[in-house]
């Protein structure tokens, strides 16, 4: 009877990812296998020193003996991403003329037109761009210093390597600033022409946005949006400053700049999220649960967004 191989521990996987620059040691793409340099059947154990990251192509070459073990061992000490500070581009095969974005439990649908799910000060953090009849994904997430963390340009994904951990499992990329602190977690599903911003705390120009499957919160002024569906407009959620020539948005939220107690705001947001319904399969425009901070200027584009007439009446102020 063949002895079942134990799974590689999470701590070992993380150590390997960090050492290898979060990508294949040969080509640098951030989609990979955990490969035993000396075969597991020989060493009979998992050790970080004997495990490296190989993409499917280079893993296959090693398995077929086209890359000698000693070459892998040498390259393991000099992974291609380390001096670059970022991964090699990875192509996401989005195609077709319709797409879906879910951002903090809010659904954005589009057909035959470009759409941004979230803009801060006129800068799009995630959008689908119509290029020659095909909708292609763009993203731009940065740290508070303005350094790129994750970018997607017309389906080409690149992420930095300077944060604590980046983990790509199946369709989901999770980026952590430190243990227990998720910067962002995104599920890419080109086969369904959808992208889901599942969880995160991201910033741009001093505006902080916390989200999970239950809602999206602007922490600076404690504004929460949840359970909404948007269709047929250029921008779903616009936050901060927007120029006079900016395209229309479904909802625009003005945010006053200045210091605030972020930890207190996070505690408030998580409390409100715990009360919200998860909008896992939104199909019609609606507002299940929205909270608007006192004094916040909030503008709904009712034709494009199509909230029910009682939508604003259901917005509750935080207590």
Higher pLDDT, 228 or 54: 54
**What does the pLDDT read at residue 248?**
83
What percentage of the chain reaches a pLDDT higher than 70?
85
**What does the pLDDT read at residue 2?**
59
Helix (H) or strand (E) segment spanning residue 154: none
**What does the pLDDT read at residue 35?**
96
Range of weakest confidence among 76-90, 194-208, 245-259, 270-284 = 270-284
Q: Token pair 């584009």 is at which residue?
A: 301
pTM as predicted: 0.86
Instruction: Write the pLDDT tens digit of every residue in 141-154.
Output: 999 999 999 999 99
Helix residue spans in 103-143 (DSSP H): none
Q: How far is CA 211 from CA 5, 61, 96, 272, 283, in A?
A: 38, 41, 28, 11, 20
Range of weakest confidence among 99-108, 259-268, 291-300 = 291-300
**What does the pLDDT read at residue 42?**
84
**What does the pLDDT read at residue 40?**
85
pLDDT band of residue 117 (cuts 50, 70, 90) is very high
**What does the pLDDT read at residue 312?**
27
Contact 188, 173 (CB under 8 A): yes
Instruction: Write the pLDDT tens digit of every residue in 154-173.
Output: 999 999 999 999 999 999 99
What whole-number distance in Å separates Cα of residue 152 and Cα of residue 207?
A: 21
Does 89 score more than 70 pLDDT?
yes
**What does the pLDDT read at residue 310?**
24
Instruction: Write the pLDDT tens digit of every residue in 175-212.
Output: 999 999 999 999 999 999 999 999 999 999 999 999 99
Q: Where are the domains of the chain?
A: 10-76, 96-314
The three-class DSSP label of residue 113 is coil
Dihedral (C-alpha) 174, 217, 157, 99: value to the nearest 10 degrees?
110
CA nearest to 204, candidates 186, 178, 184, 234? 184
pLDDT band of residue 299 (cuts 50, 70, 90) is low
Helix (H) or strand (E) segment spanning residue 81: none
Does 316 score more than 70 pLDDT?
no
């Amino acid at each position: 009877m063949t002895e079942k191989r134990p799974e590689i521990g999470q701590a070992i996987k993380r150590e390997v990812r960090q050492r290898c620059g979060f990508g294949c040691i040969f080509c640098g793409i951030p989609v990979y296998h955990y490969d035993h340099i000396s075969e597991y059947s020989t060493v009979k154990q998992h050790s970080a020193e004997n495990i490296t990251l190989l993409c499917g192509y280079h893993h296959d070459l090693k398995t077929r003996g086209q890359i000698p073990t000693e070459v892998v061992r040498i390259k393991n000490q000099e992974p291609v991403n380390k001096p670059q500070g970022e991964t090699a581009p990875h192509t996401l095969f989005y195609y077709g003329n319709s797409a879906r974005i879910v951002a903090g439990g809010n659904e954005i649908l589009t057909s035959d037109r470009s759409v941004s799910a979230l803009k801060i000060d006129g800068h799009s953090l995630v959008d689908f761009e119509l290029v020659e009849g095909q909708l292609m994904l763009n993203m731009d997430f940065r740290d508070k210093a303005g350094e790129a963390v994750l970018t997607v340009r017309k389906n080409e994904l690149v992420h930095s390597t300077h944060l604590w951990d980046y983990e790509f499992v199946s369709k989901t990329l999770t980026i952590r600033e430190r243990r227990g602190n998720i910067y962002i977690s995104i599920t890419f599903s080109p086969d369904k022409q959808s992208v889901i911003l599942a969880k995160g705390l991201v910033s741009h120009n001093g505006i902080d946005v916390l989200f999970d499957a239950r809602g999206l919160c602007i922490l600076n002024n404690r504004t929460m949006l949840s359970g909404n569906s948007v269709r047929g407009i250029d921008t779903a959620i616009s936050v901060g400053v927007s120029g006079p020539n900016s395209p229309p948005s479904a909802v625009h939220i003005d945010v006053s700049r200045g210091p605030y107690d972020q930890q207190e705001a996070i505690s408030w947001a998580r409390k409100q999220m715990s009360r919200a319904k998860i909008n896992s399969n939104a199909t019609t425009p609606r507002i299940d649960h929205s909270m608007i901070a006192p004094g916040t200027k909030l503008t709904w584009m009712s034709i494009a967004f199509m909230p029910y007439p009682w939508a604003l009446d259901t917005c509750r102020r935080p207590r």
